[in-house]
Amino acid sequence: MALKITVIGTGYLGATHAAAMAELGFDVLGLDVVPEKIEMLRRGEVPMYEPGLEDLLRKHVAGIEGSTGRLGFTTDYAEAAAFGDIHFVCVNTPQKQGEYACDMSYVDAAFAALAPHLTGPALVVGKSTVPVGSAARLAAYLAAHAPAGADAELAWNPEFLREGFAVQDTLHPDRIVVGVRGERAEKLLREVYATPLADGAPFVVTDFPTAELVKTAANSFLATKISFINAMAEVCEAADGDVLKLAEAIGYDDRIGAKFLRAGVGFGGGCLPKDIRAFMARAGELGADQALTFLREIDSINMRRRGQMVEMAREAVGGSFLGKRVAVLGAAFKPDSDDVRDSPALNVAGQIHLQGAQVTVYDPKGMTNARRLFPTLGYADSATEAVRGAHAVLHLTEWREFRELDPAVLGEAATTRLVLDGRNALDPERWRRAGWTYRAMGRPTA
């Protein structure tokens, strides 16, 4: 009989995973404790902007005309437990308030709610990013609290999807990593991922701690790569070098690789910043803190870029923001997302606002979330409106829409034709030809 799957937690990870599992042919039940989210999903609406996700969802959500009907939603753990052979736990693990450590309360709550209903054989698969050691603890919890006892097994299967590419990354993963303790769990997961495995996705089978560590190691490496190139940008700024050329040149060495070497205002979002901090905190608990002290430096290089952007802008407008209008293009932490969590763009906008400038922000998708987080900033309905009357334009999230702007048209709206490219993504020549002073991070000013 075909496997039935539940997905617990319907945020970025869970909603995408649920839709992808339905696309792979399984009957899927998504669960969330927030009834409004479930209502939206049942209507085929996605609570966030993620390219392609709404279409995939509508293709499968039961009750939507023409759908396969393979995907349903509930808020009821008893129903989920009765439905599924495999339960994927996809709830989020944010940074704890005032601490580096990761907040496990949503994961723990999900296990506590599910376990008492597991009366028969079941595989619970953790996907959330957790501190190493959590899987072993949660396996013991399941064995103790599920009526099925040892038949309620655990596996850990970290997720590597990127926002903006979530659907593609989930359907065509570049690797599948599973931490298991027995053959049954491995066999079931091979069945779940049969399609991507047949397409050639590598399948890495390991123990619990390694599976948990793979995820935090991968994100730490990515953060390190970005901070490395941003450190080079700092040196380029001091030495009058060009970090873009530098990145291109070192990127041709395939041991280094060209990806994730884009210098600018640095990394943000709901993953990289909190993951490196939680990793440091966990290593400290394990007595291995020395091994990860370098991540502290990665974090500070990254945070310094935001301050550097503010400084560049302040100098460029004549030394003080008082009485100045600043347009900020971008609010999301990266393009093709409406996610503003720990967004460098909003952080910079907020700092400049606090220094007395009148800041107007525009983002193609992130406006609602940005307004909620920073209600005191000004917001405009288009890039041109944001730029109207501005003494400086800051490009802080590299949406395609911003690269396609006509600098000549924008120049008509601005008070001063001064653009600071915090993502090194605009074409300097185009902007300069239209009479703009173009400045970027880690590049010569000439």
Candidate list 173, 196, 269, 364; residue touching ligand UGA; CB under 6 A = 269
Q: Which stretch binds ligand UGA (CB under 6 A): 19-27, 54-62, 136-144, 155-163?
A: 155-163
* C-alpha to C-alpha distances, 193 to 20, 116, 218, 266, nearest whole angstrom: 11, 27, 21, 34
By CB under 6 A, tell whether 162 contacts ligand UGA: yes
Contacts of 183 (CB under 8 A, 6+ apart): none
By CB under 6 A, tell whether 268 contacts ligand UGA: yes
By CB under 6 A, tell whether 271 contacts ligand UGA: yes
Candidate list 23, 32, 85, 163; residue touching ligand UGA; CB under 6 A = 163
Q: Which stretch binds ligand UGA (CB under 6 A): 51-59, 68-76, 268-276, 281-289?
A: 268-276
Nearest distance from C-beta of residue 337 to ligand UGA, angstroms: 7
Site string for ligand UGA, 107-136 (x = CB under 6 A): ----------------------x-------
Q: Where are the alpha helices (DSSP H) in 30-182?
A: 35-42, 53-60, 77-83, 105-114, 134-145, 166-171
Alpha carbons 113 and 375: distance in angstroms, whole number: 36
**What part of residues 218-257 is at the interface with ligand UGA (CB under 6 A)?**
219, 222, 226
Nearest distance from C-beta of residue 10 to ligand UGA, angstroms: 15
Q: Which stretch binds ligand UGA (CB under 6 A): 29-37, 79-87, 135-143, 156-164?
A: 156-164
Is 117 within 8 Å of 77 (Cβ atoms)?
yes
Please identify which residue in the block is written with the tokens 């979002």. Answer: 269
Candidate list 106, 156, 279, 333; residue touching ligand UGA; CB under 6 A = 333
Nearest distance from C-beta of residue 359 to ligand UGA, angstroms: 20
The order of strands in the sheet holding 152-156 is: 71-74, 27-31, 4-8, 86-89, 122-126, 152-156, 176-179, 203-206
- Whether 271 sits among the annotated catalytic residues: the reply is yes
Crossing angle for the helix pair 134-145 and 208-239, nearest 10 degrees?
150
* C-alpha to C-alpha distances, 446 to 77, 241, 428, nearest whole angstrom: 62, 11, 11
Q: Which of 90, 102, 236, 271 is flagged as catalytic?
A: 271
Q: Which residues bind ligand UGA (CB under 6 A)?
A: 129, 159-163, 219, 222, 226, 260-262, 264, 266-269, 271-272, 333-334
Active site residues: 271
